[in-house]
Amino acid sequence: MEARKVFLTEDEMPRQWYNILADIKMNPPLGPDGKPIGPEMLAPVFPMNLIEQEVSTQRWIDIPQEVLGILRIWRPSPLVRALNLEKALGTPAKIYYKNESVSPPGSHKPNTAVPQAYYNKAFGIKKMVTETGAGQWGSALAFACSQFGLECKVFMVRVSFDQKPYRKAMMETWGATCIPSPSPETNAGRDALKKDPDTPGSLGIAISEAVEAAVSDTTGESRYSLGSVLNHVMLHQTIIGLEARKQLDKIGKYPDVIIGCAGGGSNFAGIAFPFVLDKMNGKAVEIYPVEPAACPTMTKAPFVYDHGDTAGYTPLLPMHSLGHAFVPPPFHAGGLRYHGMAPTVSQLITEGIITPRSISQLAAYEAGVLFARTEGIIPAPETTHALAEVINEAKKAKEEGKEKVILVNFSGHGLLDLSAYEKYFSGALTNFDLTDKDILESEKIFEKFPKPQLLKSR
């Protein structure tokens, strides 16, 4: 029997992260005055050691021993051959999924939550503050803080707070405080509540609250933490692709296609970035970030300078954006409901190195159910988008009669999202695919900002 899983030992875990900033050219982030910002401007928000990592162009960055010690609670994660899915599709393609759902919070998010908590603690920080939408990121930071004995506070978008009580319970089990946003604890929260006491909240407001709570702590011992988009987050996630590469090496394989879903871009970057240099050097590998057709940042939105948050507190970032005030339709993959995209991922798209794809909601759930009934594991709603694209590629391989190797990041399980599957089965879900016309209006918001240059890295 061919082994279904490829394991690495803990000794074989990567000891360094790969920093893509060494290999691509980037437009700088801009301040309110339209000029590139210096690291010191971020100091009240993030600890300086993480800011240094954010701007570093060193190709390989050592993973601290203390971080490795915690990552190995669940890492190296298995690379699994999706034999049953292949059989169900009758495809000659070989499908390998990197199972990031094996972490305690059930997703790839702790790959960055753990080093972020480590660097904050090393810098003398006592308390980390963040926001969470669907709850994956808040759970991951709660877990990481419990490992380092840090306080953790999570502002959770109220509608999710009410709908997903398990996520709050999970964060509390790890010792974190989780409160619904908007809250009466911050100016941003009080303003929002004054405007509408019954507001369901939004990720934009929650970010504002978390940043404000961190920055306004007069002891100086609190910092804010972000779970995607930023360079250091992409960096930490590259351990996924570096492991996958070693695992494929072990069985003498190299991917023809690499697929990951992309909301802010971090799980996609994690699996894909370690293969990007090969592609830039002419290797024949297709790399597909996959987004929901209901939030088509990469496939339909322009490459512009825009704010990372709704309120406009963050620097202007060079990225594909639907406009920072864009409110996506109410589809269920909460982790993909983001108006922008990581600047590094956006840059690779503008250069044609990676090719974005989009998937409709119903096709995503159909893929998720097929995966569950063949491979056993129930995927997170976000992950189903990547799997739908895998199925498209596997069908194409069947038509073409090609024995392609497909590598996909299985970013998380759906055990805390089962109500969404319930809705799918009851027929209560629909597609919310957006057209060019739908999104035209929202783009006007960044017309006043400078335009990024179209840079060519090679």
**Considering CB under 8 A, how many residues would be counted as binding its own copies?**
46
Interaction of residue 4 with its own copies, rule CB under 8 A? yes
CB of 69 to its own copies, least distance (A): 7
Interaction of residue 165 with its own copies, rule CB under 8 A? yes
SS3 assignment for 41-109? HHCCCCCHHHHHHHHCCCCEEECCHHHHHHHCCCCCCCEEECHHHHHHHCCCCEEEEEEHHHCCCCECC
Measuring CA to CA, which residue among 320, 298, 329 is closest to residue 429?
329
Interaction of residue 143 with its own copies, rule CB under 8 A? yes
CB of 341 to its own copies, least distance (A): 30
Interaction of residue 239 with its own copies, rule CB under 8 A? no
Residues 6+ apart with CB under 8 A from 173: none
Interaction of residue 441 with its own copies, rule CB under 8 A? no
CB of 77 to its own copies, least distance (A): 11
By CB under 8 A, the residues from 264 to 323 that bind its own copies are none
In whole angstroms, give the CA distance from residue 430 to residue 325.
23
Conformation bin of residue 201: beta by default, left when phi > 0, alpha when psi is -120 to 50: left
**CB nearer its own copies, residue 178 or residue 349:** 178
Structure tokens at 450: 């400078």
In whole angstroms, give the CA distance from residue 281 to residue 142.
40
Measuring CA to CA, which residue among 174, 167, 207 is closest to residue 188?
207
Q: Which stretch binds its own copies (CB under 8 A): 165-173, 260-268, 272-280, 302-310?
A: 165-173
Q: Which stretch binds its own copies (CB under 8 A): 234-242, 247-255, 276-284, 421-429?
A: 421-429
Indicate the helix (H) or strand (E) that contains 349: helix 343-350
Interaction of residue 16 with its own copies, rule CB under 8 A? no
Residues 6+ apart with CB under 8 A from 2: 81, 83
Measuring CA to CA, which residue among 180, 184, 113 is closest to residue 150?
113
Sole binder of its own copies in the list 108, 121, 127, 168 (CB under 8 A):
168
**CB nearer its own copies, residue 39 or residue 165:** 165
Q: Which stretch binds its own copies (CB under 8 A): 3-11, 205-213, 225-233, 250-258?
A: 3-11
Sole binder of its own copies in the list 415, 440, 454, 455 (CB under 8 A):
415
Interaction of residue 251 with its own copies, rule CB under 8 A? no
Indicate the helix (H) or strand (E) that contains 247: helix 231-250
**CB nearer its own copies, residue 370 or residue 397:** 370
Helices vs. strands in the chain: H and E counts, helices first: 17, 15
Query: Do the beta carbons of residue 16 and residue 61 sit within 8 Å?
Result: yes
Q: What are phi and psi of 399, to 5 degrees?
A: -60, -40
Sole binder of its own copies in the list 118, 174, 305, 326 (CB under 8 A):
174
CB of 388 to its own copies, least distance (A): 16
**CB nearer its own copies, residue 84 or residue 392:** 84
Interaction of residue 60 with its own copies, rule CB under 8 A? no
CB of 93 to its own copies, least distance (A): 19
Half-sphere exposure of 104 (CA within 13 A, CB side): 20
**CB nearer its own copies, residue 43 or residue 415:** 415
From residue 66 to residue 105, the character string flagging contacts with its own copies as x (rule: CB under 8 A) and all else as - is: --xxx-xxx-----x---x-----------------x-x-
Exposed / middle / buried, residue 93 (Cβ in 10 Å: 0-12, 13-18, 19+): buried
In whole angstroms, give the CA distance from residue 334 to residue 338.
9
Q: Which stretch binds its own copies (CB under 8 A): 238-246, 352-360, 370-378, 430-438?
A: 370-378
**CB nearer its own copies, residue 167 or residue 300:** 167
In whole angstroms, give the CA distance from residue 410 to residue 108.
9
Give the footprint of its own copies on this chain (CB under 8 A): 1, 3-5, 7, 9-11, 65, 68-70, 72-74, 80, 84, 102, 104, 106, 143, 146-147, 165-166, 168-170, 172-175, 369, 372-373, 375-378, 415-416, 418-419, 421-422, 425
